[in-house]
Structure 1
């Protein structure tokens, strides 16, 4: 809904894409920055969700699946 309203105001789709991309990366960057700040300032705060091993296994499995998929197609 908000994107549609912005498109009506802007009129140029490429400037809208640029603007929304900037806003998205600004939000992602601020989230990463806050996580780093909380890791330093709230060192002993309880963390109920720990995904270190799950995330690394997911990323490794995803990369392996993509490699095997492209290897089967003959791209690699």
Structure 2
């Protein structure tokens, strides 16, 4: 995994940073969600190749922004 970490660190530029977390290489991008949180990508090596994911953070963020079908006590 350290080889991948080094390759990413050397090739994608200074605006991105890498660290290892729970078997993944976290790639911190310079891009932000509208609320100001950084968009992170996670890379994991598998036997058949690599997995690149955001660990579901984009979907989680979008769900938090959507209208809920349940009404709060104040809305009732």
Q: TM-score if structure 2 supplies the norm length?
A: 0.28
Q: Normalising to structure 1: TM-score of the pair? A: 0.28
The structure with the larger Rg is 1
Higher helix share: 1
